[in-house]
Chain A
Amino acid sequence: MERLLTVKGLTTEFRTERGIVKAVNNVSYHIDGGEILGIVGESGCGKSVSQLSLMQLVQSPPGRIVAGSAEFNGVDLLKYGRKSKEMSSIRGKDMSMIFQEPMTSLNPAMNIGKQMSEVLITHLGTTVAEAMERSADMLSQVGIPDATKRLKDYPHQFSGGMRQRVMIAMAMLCTPKLLIADEATTALDATIQAQLLELLYEIVNKYNLALTMVTHNLGVVARYADRVNVMYAGRIIETGTTKEIWANPLHPYTEGLISCVPKLGQKLEAIQGMPPALIDRPPTCPFLARCKYRQSECHKEPVAELTPVDGQHATACNVRLKEAGVA
């Protein structure tokens, strides 16, 4: 499969009163066409900001992309300005994003038909009538009954699950090559969440899209993702195929994260402590303070680069890399 997106050394900072927060720190990964990539981590680990950086949607100031490149379809996204024409023509057309909160991402004062047709008119220059027709068609594809009639409805007239369906339909209008779902189903009830995930999976397979799933729900990743990036304190600390990571987690954080999920008849093993503050971090491993495998050298060495151990399976743990004889 062809390489769709290659991110190299992406670093995003936020200037705050207390200092510079490196929300995304030297992140490199790739995604191929038709692939589902899961990005997991806890709040503040930079999973959302890394995706917003790619879309050039990080608010600036205080945010700033300070380094890195992101080659998408042969062009470097990070070279374009936030408000550049090039970026506007990519956003929503070749790359779309679905956000967590459908109520805040949809315009409450504009009916669904108008919001959806706007996408087609701007990107593809279709006529209003054609845009409306295609919007209705897309709405029925995501399982909204009476689609033509509902185009006249406003976001508040839809339930939470239906609103998220509208978001998916809107993101799919120009058949993008890459879809980014940022905690797209987190705010929904379990049965509705299951409905939407299956729908998303169906659509992604039907159009052969690449999907980046940003989530903190390990279950969702385990079910749908082909590969996983595990993020901690702004860095990718482990990456590999979903099965490899579950069968043989290399980084102590990944191991802890997997054992944090309650399983029947097993004592729950929690990771002690809290994620570190991201202001003025020392160059050592960010997981050091919470790690149960830490060694004395860990306090001295800078954190390892993400290094492959076995094929695609890579980790940034000094101890594990040494054990594997890689570092």
Chain B
Amino acid sequence: MSENNVVSTSSEVTSTPQTGNTIDVTNLKMYFPIRRGLLKFKVGDVKAIDDISFSIKPGETLGLVGESGCGKTTVGRCILRMYEPTSGSVVFNGRDITHDKQSQLRSVRRDMAIIFQDPYGSLDPRMSAGNTVGEPLKIHKLTKTKKEYKERVEELFILCGLNPDMSDRYPHEFSGGQRQRLSIARALAGDPSLIVCDEPISALDVSMQAQILNLLTTMKEKNNKMSYLFISHDLLAVQYISDRVVVMYLGRIVETAPSVELYANTRHPYSQALLSAQPMPDPVAEETRQRIILEGDIPTPLNPPPGCSFHPRCTKATKECSEVPPPLRDIGGEHFVACHHA
């Protein structure tokens, strides 16, 4: 992947500006090489993330929406340095972690956590619930005595609405919603300043989704310095929990604005279509609401269309759109949009 590093020679990458933000992502790119043949020559790149920048302030919840393949999960993983970005920089609490080695990252990782979508696949089936939640405490040596450890695990269980008596049970004995509570308890163990929530409610039933959303909100009320990156395709959930929302399409940010502004004043044709595609649970409003139905499928990120990558499906597309990629423009009120016509 090093061949792509030439792009980022600007000073922003080497110096770390003190912005006071929890996360500063600048010109981040993540390309996955495609190798073919016996000698595994590189024949191309999947541009999972193509030049995106954003930041998250302490105590802020940033919602990240988009359809499958738009790169939203990759963004979360780059921030946590589960992937090493191709270029650009990730600054976490004032420290540039873009190219840190795994050993250097250990101290940083205490401060960040992730909650995955699939509560069945993300917990070790052979580790009891108590150990699952307590493992970060042991790894980062956060508790001194056994008694303290036990108390802290118990506290985390109660905090997340689980009965501490269940700490000897194994993941298969829990329901999906309870497992997600376990994941949250584990994520909270190190008292992190950032939790990446990667589709945390998508695999759950409606009544469980509401419980988990409420739990996440309560946790933030208790620690107002903690930030969330909330990745989801459920626009209603994102709207509910986020302060600011980023909409992604094929590896690029197409629109970003404070949550209220974005939903009230949607400017990018893709965001408009995405919002309109979401069925609203209200039969009276639905009767009169006109939906924008997009034509066609999402193109593959292997070979994205030139110019604005949304132009083949866009109703407003002109010749310009198929040639010049639109820059992310400031249209006032912290609202940015990448469209020639918005």
- By a beta-carbon cutoff of 8 Å, the part of chain A in contact with chain B is 42-43, 159, 161-162, 189-195, 197-198, 216-223, 242-243, 246-247, 256-258, 260-264, 268-272, 274-275
Q: Across the A-B interface, how many residue pairs have beta carbons closer than 8 Å? A: 114
- Can you list 8 residue pairs at the A/B interface with Cβ under 8 Å? A190-B233, A191-B277, A216-B205, A219-B278, A222-B281, A258-B281, A262-B213, A268-B240
Q: Does A246 contact B282, Cβ atoms closer than 8 Å? A: yes
Q: Does A161 contact B210, Cβ atoms closer than 8 Å? A: no
Q: Which of A161, A195, A197 has the most CB of B within 10 A?
A: A195
Q: Does B284 contact A243, Cβ atoms closer than 8 Å? A: yes
Q: Does A260 contact B240, Cβ atoms closer than 8 Å? A: no
Within 8 A of A (CB), among B207-226: 207-211, 213-214, 217
Number of interface residues of B (CB under 8 A): 40
Beta-carbon nearest neighbor of B285 in chain A: A222
Beta-carbon nearest neighbor of A247 in chain B: B284
Q: Does A222 contact B297, Cβ atoms closer than 8 Å? A: no
Beta-carbon nearest neighbor of B69 in chain A: A189
Beta-carbon nearest neighbor of B237 in chain A: A262
Select one of B277, B281, B297 contacting A261, CB under 8 A.
B281
Per the bound structure, the CA–CA distance linking A269 and B239 in Å amounts to 16
Beta-carbon nearest neighbor of B206 in chain A: A260
Q: Does B207 contact A257, Cβ atoms closer than 8 Å? A: yes
Q: Do most interface residues of chain B lie in helix, strand or loop, or is the interface mixed?
A: helix
Per the bound structure, the CA–CA distance linking A275 and B208 in Å amounts to 10
B158 at the interface (CB under 8 A from A): no
Per the bound structure, the CA–CA distance linking A161 and B237 in Å amounts to 24
B236: A residues at CB distance < 8 A: 261-263
Q: Does A218 contact B233, Cβ atoms closer than 8 Å? A: no
Per the bound structure, the CA–CA distance linking A242 and B284 in Å amounts to 9
B273 at the interface (CB under 8 A from A): yes
Given A222-B282, A222-B283, A268-B210, 8 extra CB contacts under 8 A: A42-B206, A43-B205, A191-B277, A191-B293, A191-B298, A219-B280, A260-B207, A268-B214
B17 at the interface (CB under 8 A from A): no
Q: Does A195 contact B278, Cβ atoms closer than 8 Å? A: no
Q: Do most interface residues of chain A lie in helix, strand or loop, or is the interface mixed?
A: helix
Q: Does B277 contact A190, Cβ atoms closer than 8 Å? A: yes
A216: B residues at CB distance < 8 A: 205-206
With A43-B205, A195-B294, A216-B205 already in contact, the answer to whether A222 and B210 are too (CB < 8 A) is no
Q: Does A189 contact B210, Cβ atoms closer than 8 Å? A: no
Beta-carbon nearest neighbor of B203 in chain A: A43
**Digit string of B18-49 for contact with A (CB within 8 Å is 1, else 0)?**
00000000000000000000000000000000
CB distance from B326 to the nearest CB of A (A): 20
B148 at the interface (CB under 8 A from A): no
With A198-B291, A268-B240, A269-B210 already in contact, the answer to whether A191 and B274 are too (CB < 8 A) is yes
Per the bound structure, the CA–CA distance linking A295 and B68 in Å amounts to 46
Q: Which 4 pairs of residues, A with B, have the shortest CB-CB distance?
A: A219-B279, A262-B240, A194-B277, A270-B210
Q: Does A274 contact B297, Cβ atoms closer than 8 Å? A: no
Q: Does B281 contact A198, Cβ atoms closer than 8 Å? A: no
CB distance from A3 to the nearest CB of B (A): 24
CB distance from B11 to the nearest CB of A (A): 39
Per the bound structure, the CA–CA distance linking A161 and B280 in Å amounts to 21
Q: Does B207 contact A223, Cβ atoms closer than 8 Å? A: no
CB distance from B231 to the nearest CB of A (A): 14
Select one of B68, B208, B240 contacting A189, CB under 8 A.
B68
CB distance from B224 to the nearest CB of A (A): 18
Q: Does B293 contact A218, Cβ atoms closer than 8 Å? A: no
Q: Does B297 contact A192, Cβ atoms closer than 8 Å? A: yes
Q: Which of A242, A258, A264 has the most CB of B within 10 A?
A: A264
Q: Does B293 contact A189, Cβ atoms closer than 8 Å? A: no
Q: Does B211 contact A194, Cβ atoms closer than 8 Å? A: no
Per the bound structure, the CA–CA distance linking A109 and B125 in Å amounts to 35
Per the bound structure, the CA–CA distance linking A269 and B214 in Å amounts to 8
Beta-carbon nearest neighbor of A243 in chain B: B283
With A42-B207, A268-B240, A271-B210 already in contact, the answer to whether A190 and B274 are too (CB < 8 A) is yes
Select one of B207, B217, B294 contacting A271, CB under 8 A.
B207
Per the bound structure, the CA–CA distance linking A189 and B241 in Å amounts to 21
Per the bound structure, the CA–CA distance linking A190 and B246 in Å amounts to 16
B211: A residues at CB distance < 8 A: 270-272
CB distance from B46 to the nearest CB of A (A): 17
